[in-house]
Chain A
């Protein structure tokens, strides 16, 4: 057990290094223009250019540049945006993070509950029209671009049907902090939650159903039935419990990616000032340091979350516990 944890830790450190190197290379070593000009922003003065070159060490070898960059990102945290008049990047991300976390957590609860229900029901009713209908619904959910779905929901809830009893409670686009007004927080987020969750409900319910159906052919499921257990118990206690291993690892990855900025499109469409929207704003005014910082932080977050999922795995699957 201890060995497994240590090994996982080593792997994590390695991947962290790899990711930071990869992101660094993408931003500073892509063949093409001078990274100085990219960081300084459009139409920067020669003095600014020179200052940037000194600050990031672009006249020095790549490894030194990498070290400088990492120091500015994680140790001194004084990476500043040139486009946005020297705004410090790291605190900006820290301010945006709670919004993203609120959005993703709510969506995650919705998609986990609904996809488990849908997947299990579909697997139990395999071959019936309920099964086919649920899976088709899931497929439609997967096929909708989330930003488009967001726009259409906005159209319905903010404009066309906003005056009916159904959607009159919907507040205007934007975010209300949980600490200020919990009820307002909930009202502002409930529609983004659902919109963000829809695609994942589709993916997860289909994966879960496929997994459960595949499991139903397994020997241990037959044993469970031969024991005289009720079909519900066989499906839930034996099938679903075993499927949870796949489910959780999938969930960990997606959840981490969303918190790390994958919810960008939802945040943009619903005007939620989270990390994703920050990235989007940086994108529109080509604020390279900010984008790099968000990408780097999100990657680090994803890697750490994956490590947590793997440790969770050790508790979920007794086989893994001994294997390493």
Chain B
């Protein structure tokens, strides 16, 4: 076998070029950019296109459609016309996707909700990566007691089902917020779901980092650095960390996908983003009661989640293919 030593990971330009050649990953990236951009422009849409305020209840209101004035809450279709249902998708700029049970514009709320969902999931992913990298590097590099303690802690956290763990953390913070000495985090702060989701997924990300560091510690260039008397912190910073970044970069999109799913689940259980703020999860929950009459309220944000998570997963796959040196050298012989 032509067992050549694997080339050193060059995460830079080569990976970018590899990724750029991956059509699926580029499509996914385009979808992500498009969705993020439209969510960022949510206020513009609400003010200038839909011309509604998606945060105030509008049960008694009405809108103009094709010159007719139409009530937002309409009598049900059943023979007795009992009860009211919010207006369905109108096909117009106003209430494009219809209204929710409080008469708010679902399309505008979805864009605003997307802002929160994307913000929470990306921040949670980044925070999780930072925590996991610190824990993984500490455990993998220092070994011994540090490794034992951290690994056991990860084992323990890993044993609690992710959602139950998040629920436990949420329920103690959701009613009163968090008080850490001078720091007060309000109960409706986005920081709470961010920290909770990041914490919950730390074991998930720390394991591969630790494994990578363990492998790197055996690598000859680290041994060489040690023999040269390079201080430990320099080895960690300049020899270990750059080599771990590949692992972190690949984990990033996947973690964000997981975080987005977790965020929507927590919000669906009404322990994530708190009203009147929206996220895709809360809108799906709003739509739960309307699922048989106005299914679009729940379907649309769900589709948004599916699209973003799918794009993130494809992007993560693409990054892994572009960065993973092991895969590219496997074709030897």
Contacts and interface: CB of A to CB of B under 8 A. Distances in A.
Are chains A and B touching in the complex at the 8 Å CB cutoff?
A: yes
Interface of A: 14-15, 18-19, 22-23, 26-27, 30-33, 38, 139-140, 142-145, 147-149, 151-152, 154-155, 158-159, 214, 217, 253, 257-258, 260-262, 264-265, 268, 279-280, 283-284, 286, 288, 291-292, 294-295, 298-299, 302-303, 306
A284 B269 CA distance: 8
B292 A257 contact: no
B272 to A, nearest CB: 12
Contact of B163 (A143, A144, A265): A265
B265 A30 contact: no
Interface stretch (B45-53, B99-107, B151-159, B208-216): B151-159
Given A264-B163, A283-B269, A32 B310 contact: no
B77 to A, nearest CB: 13
8 contacts: A23-B160, A27-B168, A139-B313, A143-B257, A145-B265, A147-B265, A147-B268, A262-B163
Contacts of A280: 269
Interface in B300-318: 302, 305-306, 309-310, 313-314, 317
Interface of B: 152-153, 155-165, 167-169, 171-173, 175-181, 257, 261, 264-265, 268-271, 281, 284, 287-288, 291-292, 295, 298-299, 302, 305-306, 309-310, 313-314, 317, 330
Contacts of B176: 32-33
Contacts of B284: 145, 147-148, 151
B159 A303 contact: yes
A151 B178 contact: no
Residue of B181, B302, B330 contacting most chain A CB atoms (<10 Å): B302
A145 B156 contact: no
Nearest to B181: A31
What 5 A-B pairs come out closest when comparing CB atoms? A148-B302, A143-B309, A262-B161, A18-B156, A143-B310
Contacts of B162: 257, 262
Given A148-B298, A158-B292, A260-B164, A139 B314 contact: yes
Contacts of A159: 291-292
Contacts of B292: 155, 158-159
B291 A154 contact: yes
Contacts of B153: 18
A273 to B, nearest CB: 17
Contact of A31 (B169, B178, B313): B178
Contact of A302 (B160, B288, B291): B160
A173 B150 CA distance: 44
Contacts of A18: 152-153, 155-156
B interface secondary structure, majority: helix
Contacts of B157: 22
A67 B314 CA distance: 48
B15 to A, nearest CB: 19
A261 B257 CA distance: 22
Contacts of B171: 283, 286, 288, 291
A32 B169 CA distance: 12
Contact of A298 (B161, B179, B313): B161
Nearest to A265: B265
B51 to A, nearest CB: 29
Given A27-B172, A265-B265, A148 B305 contact: yes
Contacts of A302: 159-161
A256 B171 CA distance: 23
A310 to B, nearest CB: 12
B152 A295 contact: no
B164 A298 contact: yes
Given A145-B264, A217-B330, A283-B269, A295 B168 contact: yes
Contacts of A286: 171, 175
Contacts of B261: 145
B7 to A, nearest CB: 17
Contacts of B159: 15, 19, 299, 302-303, 306
Contacts of A294: 164
Nearest to B281: A145
A143 B168 contact: no
Nearest to A18: B156
A155 B298 CA distance: 11
Nearest to A294: B164
A262 B305 contact: no
Contacts of B288: 151
Contacts of A26: 168-169, 172
Contacts of A139: 310, 313-314, 317
Given A14-B152, A139-B314, A142-B313, A32 B177 contact: yes
